[in-house]
Amino acid sequence: MWFESYETGREVLLHTEDVELGWSREDGVLVLLRHPGGLNVLGYGPPTLSLDLALGTTDGWLSTRAFARFLWHRIDAESDRVSVMIAVGLGPLTILDRYTIREDLISRQVTIENAGLDDLRLCGLRLMLPNACVGPAATCRFEAPGNSVRPRVGLGVAAAQRRTVLPRRFFAPGLRGGSAMEPTPSQGPGLLALHNGDPALCLLCWYETEAEAALPFLQGRDGISTSVSLGHEVGLCGWLRPGEQVISGTQQVVLLPSAWTAITAEIDRRTIATLPEPARWLHDTAIYVADARRHGGLVGLAAQLPALADLGVRCLALLPICITGGNPHSVQDFERIDPALGDLAAARALVRQAHDLGMHVLLDLPLQGACVESRYLAEHADWFVRDESGAFVIGTPNGVPVVGLHPNVIPPPGRYQFDWQHPDLQQYVIDWALATAVDLELDGYRAVEPFNPAPSWNRRSTHASAGSLAPLRVLARLRPALRRVRTDAALLSTLPGPAFAPICDGLFDYPVHHMFVHAALSRLTPQELGYYLDDHHRVVRGAPARIGFMEMHDTCMINPLADGLRGSRISRMLLAGMVLCGFVPALWSGQEQSDEAALRAVLRLWHEEPALRMGSAAFGLLDRDGPAVFSVIREYAGRRLVGLINFGAHPCRVRLDSGAPALPVGRDLLGHAPIDFKQNAAGAYALLAPFSCYCLEF
C-alpha cells in the first residue's frame, strides 16, 4: 500500500491515496483527517484528548488530573495496509494507540499498559474524534441511527450535548435506561455520523468488540457551537499489575465523499453481519408472548390457544415455566417446573396442542440471573458476578446493578447476576436448553439477556468486563445445536444490537418501539419518524427479523405509558403502523382482551400481504403541503400498498395524488376508522380520523 510520512515540529503526518492523517507531537491527539487536498474534519476547537481512562472508580478520569504526553511513534506497512502506532503517557499508564489504514477505512485499537509500580484498577476507556465538523458548520448534520436521537440534528444542537447532562427533547425525544444512546454492539449499532451536502462529505465512526460493550456519546465545549467530539465510552474494566496490558475493541472510522443518504453500500459492507440459514417462518409469523401465570397456568393457557390461533397468532413465546423468585426471569431452579403453573405433562400437552393449531412454540431462556432462593447460590457460588470486595452484585429490574451486597443481606427487588465467563455455567445452560427442547418438542428459544451487566471482579483479572458480552458465546453455541435437533428452530433475542444479528433469527426492536411512541406524543414529527425508519432500515439491512410491539414483559418498567395505552386509538395506530413498516408483530399476555377486533385485522393483513412482509419500503410524508401525515409505500411482485398514519388528535385532509396524476380511489384494508374518499378538481383526497392508521390498496 502506497504511503508517505513526515514530521514537523508539531505533528506526525501520514498520507495515503485515500486519506491524510496527523497526530500532535505534544499529546498524541489525532488532529488531521481529510481526503488528499480536501477539508480537515477535526480540530475545530481548543485542544481535546482523543482518549481518556478512568482509574480507581468509574468517574476517576485521568484527563482531570494528568496531562497526556506524546512519547514516540512507529509506522509499519504491508501490501494492503499501513499502521501507525502512537505511544502516549497518561498518568501511570502507557497507551499504544494504533491506527490501521486499509483504503479509506481507519481501524483504531488501544493497548493499555501499567507503567507504574502499583496495581491499578482500570474502570473505563473513552475513544474520541475530537472537535469534529464536516463542511460548513451551518449545514452540518449529526446522525445516530438506532438510538433515541432525532435524525438530521443540526451541529449546533449536537455541540450542546454533554456526557454528564441528560439531553433535552430538541436532541432526543426520550431516554431509555437514562441515556439517548444504546450500548453497542449489544443494544444498538453504535454508529455516529456527521455529514454535509455542500460539499458532499460524511464522517462515520462505530465500535466493534467481542468483549465489553461501549456507549456512544457526544461531547461539546462551552461557547463552541461549530464542532463536537464523537466518542465511545468502553466498559473496559480490570486489574492491571505492573507491566500488564489490556487491549480494547476497535473503533472504526471512515470519511466518505458522499451524502448521508447515499452511503447504504458502505454501511452494509462495514457494519452488517448476516445470519446463515435464518428461520424463514419467523418473517411470516405473529408472536404472542405469554406468561402462563396470567392465564391460570399451563392448562389455562392451553384452553385459550384456539382463540389465539383464530386471532392470527402463529408463534407462542412462553415466559420461563421453571421455578423463579417473583420476577419470571429470576431463576430459582432451571430443572423444576413451577408447580403453580402445572407439571411436565401439562407443558408437553400445551406444546402439542399449539403445534396442532399450526403454532410454533418458543420458551424464554433467562440469562439475567438468579433469585435469592436459588439453589445455585449455594451449589455454584462461582457462577455469579461479584464486586471488587467479593460481594455479590444485584441486577435490579431497571437494569442498574447494585454492588456491595453480601449473601446474608436481603436483596432489593432484582436478581444475582450470572457470570457468563464461567465455562461450567455456559455448558450447564446449553445442556439444559437442548434437553428441554427435545423433551417438550420446542421450536426454539427467546433469549432474555442482562440489559446492563456489571463487570465481574471475582478474580484479580486484567479483563473483569470480558463477561458483559459472554452470553453471545452461549447463544452462538446453542443455535447450531438446536438446528441439529430441529432444522427450522429459531433463536430470538430481547437485545437488538448488531452483535446478535449473526446469531439470532429475530430481535425485539426496543428503540423503534420507543420512537413510535414518541411520535404519538408529538415529541417526534412524522417526517422525522420517516427519516429515522429509513436510516434504521439501511443500517440494519441484512439483519434478522425485526420484531415490533406495543407492550412486552418489561415495558411496565422501561416505558409504563405503553401499557397504559392498551385499548386506545393510539395503541391500535402504533401497532398497525409498525406492521405496515415491516416489523414482525408481537403481542403481550392479555393485550388481545381490549382490542380483539383491531388486532385481528392487523394480523390478518400481515399474513395475507407479502408486500408487508417482504416488500420494499419508502417512508415519508404523502402531502408535504398539508398536514404532516406519515406515509409508507410497500411494493412487492407488482403489488403496491400505501400506509397512512395520522399522528394528530384532529381529523385531517390529505391529498392522495401529491401533484402526480390523480390516483384511483383506494380501499382501506385495515378498516380501523372511517375514511372518506373525495374527488375534486385538484385530485383525490381523503379525510383521516384522529390517531388512525390505514392501509390503502389502489
CATH number, domain of 310, equals 3.20.20.80
Choose one of 247, 271, 295: the last residue of a domain.
271
Q: Quick one: cell of 494?
A: 430481547
Residues 588 and 297: beta-carbon distance below 8 Å: no
Q: Locate cell 440471573: which residue?
A: 369
Instruction: Assess if residue 185 is contained within a domain.
Output: yes
Is the domain of 333 the same as that of 223? Answer: no
Is the domain of 69 the same as that of 90? Answer: yes
Question: Bridge-partner residues for 327, per DSSP?
Answer: 325
Is the domain of 240 the same as that of 326? Answer: no
Instruction: Assess if residue 400 is contained within a domain.
Output: no
Choice between 680 and 555, residue whose per-residue pLDDT is larger: 555
Structural domain tally of the chain? 3
Is the domain of 313 the same as that of 259? Answer: no
CATH code for position 53: 2.70.98.10
CATH code for position 667: 2.60.40
CA angle at 9 for the pair 6 and 13, rounded to the nearest 5°: 30
Band of residue 18 on the pLDDT scale cut at 50, 70, 90: very high
Instruction: Assess if residue 380 is contained within a domain.
Output: no
681: left (phi over 0), alpha (psi -120 to 50) or beta: alpha
Instruction: Assess if residue 407 is contained within a domain.
Output: no
Q: What is the pLDDT of residue 663?
A: 41
pLDDT in tens, 514-550: 999 999 999 999 999 999 999 988 887 666 899 999 9
What residues contact 435, with CB distance under 8 A and at least 6 apart?
none
Q: How many residues are recorded in the chain? A: 698
Band of residue 662 on the pLDDT scale cut at 50, 70, 90: very low
Query: Running DSSP on this structure, what letter comes out for residue 562?
Result: H
Instruction: Provide DSSP, 628-672.
Output: --EEEEEEETTEEEEEEEE-SSS-EEEESSTTSSPPPP-EESS-S
Is the domain of 660 the same as that of 524? Answer: no
Choose one of 611, 637, 656: the last residue of a domain.
611
Q: What is the pLDDT of residue 682?
A: 66
pLDDT in tens, 568-615: 999 999 999 999 999 999 999 999 988 899 999 999 999 999 999 999
Q: Residue 379 belongs to what H/E stretch?
A: helix 376-379
Across 116-130, 432-446, 618-632, least confident range:
618-632
284: Cα separation from own chain's centroid: 23
Instruction: Assess if residue 393 is contained within a domain.
Output: no
Is the domain of 364 the same as that of 509? Answer: yes
Is the domain of 543 the same as that of 587? Answer: yes
Q: What is the 3-state secondary structure (H, E, C) of 389-438?
A: CCCEEEECCCCCEEEEECCCCCCCCCEEEECCCCHHHHHHHHHHHHHHHH
Alpha helices in 230-330 (DSSP H): 264-271, 297-311
Range of the domain at 605: 287-370+420-452+462-611
Is the domain of 18 the same as that of 67? Answer: yes
Instruction: Assess if residue 636 is contained within a domain.
Output: yes
Band of residue 267 on the pLDDT scale cut at 50, 70, 90: low
Q: What is the pLDDT of residue 437?
A: 97
Across 2-11, 443-452, 479-488, 616-625, least confident range:
616-625
Q: What is the pLDDT of residue 451?
A: 81
Is the domain of 267 the same as that of 295? Answer: no
Choose one of 611, 633, 648: the last residue of a domain.
611
SS3 content of the chain, % helix, strand, coil (to 5): 25, 35, 40
- Among residues 275, 321, 292, 322, which one has the least CA distance to residue 491? 275
pLDDT in tens, 150-197: 999 999 999 999 988 888 889 999 888 778 999 999 999 999 999 998
Is the domain of 605 the same as that of 626? Answer: no
Q: What is the pLDDT of residue 459?
A: 62
Instruction: Assess if residue 104 is contained within a domain.
Output: yes
Q: What is the 3-state secondary structure (H, E, C) of 171-204?
A: CCCCCECCECCCCECCCCCCCEEEEEECCEEEEE
Q: Quick one: cell of 581?
A: 413498516
Instruction: Assess if residue 303 is contained within a domain.
Output: yes
Band of residue 464 on the pLDDT scale cut at 50, 70, 90: confident
User: Does the pLDDT of residue 226 top 60, yes or no?
Assistant: yes
Is the domain of 672 the same as that of 528? Answer: no
Across 55-69, 219-233, 626-640, least confident range:
626-640
Is the domain of 134 the same as that of 225? Answer: yes
Residues 212 and 237: beta-carbon distance below 8 Å: yes
Q: What is the pLDDT of residue 406?
A: 38
